[in-house]
Structure 1
Amino acid sequence: VLVNGKVVNTLGAKADPRTDIITVDGKTLDSEKIDRVYLLLNKPRGYITSTSDPQGRPTVMDLVGSVQTRVYPVGRLDFASEGLLFLTNDGEIANKLMHPSSEIRRTYAVKVKGTMSDEQLRVLRKGVHLSDGFVKPIRVARSSRLENKEWIEITVTEGKNLEIRRLFAVLELEVERLRRTAIGSLDITGVPVGKFLTLHKWQVENLFTEAEELSAAYAEGAEKPAPRKSAAKFAKNKPVKKRLPAKKRAPAKRR
């Protein structure tokens, strides 16, 4: 049982289905009676990804205070990290987004102190063993370099805790800045820092379809990078209707 995204195993614990998001075995209670909200936030550094903080530090909830419906963050970006973060009151969608089987790609821009050597780049592309499992990035590329600092772009699907920072720590590279720039094909372009966009459910579900198609292509060795879409523009788009197969023409009669 999850209440607002947190496991509840205390006997007698209370929750209000009118204000709390209650999920049992992956199913959200009274889902048909509650308006679902899907937010895509550009989280700044210096905010906790949580609904509250005992130390009184700012949380991402402070940035979505204008939203009347109670939502909670999906996944995490640590205090010093920034970039795209989903918030919702849809427990089923939240569980799918966080589950490893979804294989939704998350792209990060990482600023490191010094420069990454060709050998370090080779090792990272090949994959790294962390304490909780093996991580092989989908893509790693140099982005830009300025004096003794370098930006690296990396795309992963695993979503382990502090995954990116730990990958670079294994390579003995110090991360100075970490920004999540894309979730699937949704790009951070057009989402101001500290602001959010409201998405439709179909737009979030489209990420799962996209991930399945990319995973299949990747397995066959014929993968092509997914085209990035500005999240701001994508939020305004309407679902694309699938074209019906054209009717076959009857064979021409011989004269």
Structure 2
Amino acid sequence: MSEKLQKILANAGLGSRREIEKWIAAGRVSVNGSISTLGDRATDKDTIRVDGQVISIKAKDEIYTRVIAYHKPLDQVSTAKDPQGRETVFDSLPRTKFGRWISIGRLDINTTGLLLFTNNGELAHRLMHPSYQVERKYAVRVFGEVTQEILNNLKAGVLIDGDLCHFDSIIEKGGEGANHWYEVSLAEGKNREVRKLWQSQGVEVSRLIRTLYGPVELPKDLSRGRWRDLDADQISKLAELVKLKVTPRKEQAVQKKHKKSNFKWKKPR
């Protein structure tokens, strides 16, 4: 059965449907040698090219969504390539047999914590889009005096780069001297928004850790620089949050079942 080109390419992990529609409109996509237009359909049997490169398309029953949680350490950049030659988060990721890894949001070089990656371009796009109001939580250590007036300002809203930004919640987590920890949450992911909000009040951020994205928490036993597959239930909850139907990676459940059923402890002789 044929499907719209933007859906096929989004399922292949090339980007969101909206982004791919722009590629089609710009004449960057072809099917069987003919430049495509918006509304064109294709199947996995057709030869689809983007910028002249053939794209490997899986049959519909082979398409799956994979999501991994990565614990980003300091000094890694969140881009696929860095012109300065610095280490990127993509250097630490596993290979994916289907599609390519797409980062669901970014963390700046000095921020650690939870970073999600998926091979489903549409899922990534929706989870980042402000219209879905996906919650992010951070543990933040600040240096400087924090008054009740400052906390009120941060929750009411502060103009940053022309946009009204605010925290949905701020919970004090203790500290000593001029250093204090807070848990903050917000539903958008503008560039360096958490740091800029505190800085707008004359308070400097000395440590910043993302601890939650949507329903996914940073696993406490996941070391920095390590990744872990989300299970089918976690992937389904992420997709439901942004009103998207996906097929989670089947191999995950098979592997878990295989490991449990084949392991037998033998008493040493």
TM-score, length-scaled by structure 2: 0.66
Residues 168-183 of structure 1: matches in 2 within 5 Å? 168-183=198-213
Quote how far apart the aligned CAs of 1:46 are: 0.6
Q: Is the 8 A contact 1:115 1:148 kept in 2?
A: yes
Residue aligning to 1:186: 216
Pair 184,52 (structure 1): closer, same or farther in 2 beyond 3 Å: same
Q: Is the 8 A contact 1:104 1:208 kept in 2?
A: no
Residue aligning to 1:17: 55
Residue aligning to 1:163: 193
> Which of 70, 73, 84 is the matching residue for 2:114?
84
- Equivalent AA in structure 2 for residue 41 of structure 1: Y
Pair 127,111 (structure 1): closer, same or farther in 2 beyond 3 Å: same
Residue aligning to 1:59: 88
> Which of 195, 203, 206 is the matching residue for 2:237?
206
CA RMSD of superposed structures (Å): 2.8
What's the % identity of the aligned pairs? 30
Residue aligning to 1:149: 179
Higher deviation after alignment, 108-117 or 40-49: 108-117
Residue aligning to 2:152: 122
Q: Is the 8 A contact 2:127 2:242 kept in 1?
A: no
Pair 135,208 (structure 1): closer, same or farther in 2 beyond 3 Å: farther
- Equivalent AA in structure 1 for residue 75 of structure 2: G
Quote how far apart the aligned CAs of 1:105 are: 0.6
Residue aligning to 1:217: none
Q: Is the 8 A contact 1:103 1:211 kept in 2?
A: no
Could you say what secondary structure the match of 1:159 adopts?
A: coil
CA distance in 1, matches of 2:201, 2:15: 33
Q: Is the 8 A contact 1:184 1:211 kept in 2?
A: no
Residue aligning to 1:101: 131
- Equivalent AA in structure 1 for residue 229 of structure 2: T
User: Does 2:68 correspond to 1:39?
Assistant: yes
- Equivalent AA in structure 1 for residue 85 of structure 2: G
Residue aligning to 2:163: 133
Pair 11,207 (structure 1): closer, same or farther in 2 beyond 3 Å: closer
- Equivalent AA in structure 2 for residue 203 of structure 1: Q
Higher deviation after alignment, 82-91 or 110-119: 110-119
Alpha-carbon deviations, 1:77-109, whole Å to 9, x = none?
A: 011111101111101111111111221110011
- Equivalent AA in structure 1 for residue 82 of structure 2: D
Alpha-carbon deviations, 1:136-170, whole Å to 9, x = none?
A: 32111211112221112110001111111111111
Unaligned runs of 5+ in 2: 1-5, 29-50, 244-255, 257-269
Pair 149,33 (structure 1): closer, same or farther in 2 beyond 3 Å: same
Q: Is the 8 A contact 2:102 2:121 kept in 1?
A: no
Q: Is the 8 A contact 2:80 2:90 kept in 1?
A: yes
Unaligned runs of 5+ in 1: 20-28, 213-235, 237-255
- Equivalent AA in structure 1 for residue 214 of structure 2: G
Runs ≥4 residues deviating over 6 A: none
- Equivalent AA in structure 2 for residue 99 of structure 1: H
Pair 95,186 (structure 1): closer, same or farther in 2 beyond 3 Å: same
CA distance in 2, matches of 1:37, 1:139: 31
Pair 135,49 (structure 1): closer, same or farther in 2 beyond 3 Å: same
Pair 31,153 (structure 1): closer, same or farther in 2 beyond 3 Å: farther
Quote how far apart the aligned CAs of 1:68 are: 5.0
Quote how far apart the aligned CAs of 1:118 are: 1.8
Residue aligning to 1:215: none
Quote how far apart the aligned CAs of 1:175 are: 1.1
Quote how far apart the aligned CAs of 1:201 are: 5.0
CA distance in 2, matches of 1:141, 1:31: 46
CA distance in 1, matches of 2:62, 2:241: 29
Quote how far apart the aligned CAs of 1:37 are: 1.8
Alpha-carbon deviations, 1:33-78, whole Å to 9, x = none?
A: 4443211111111111111112110011111145555312111101
CA distance in 1, matches of 2:53, 2:61: 18
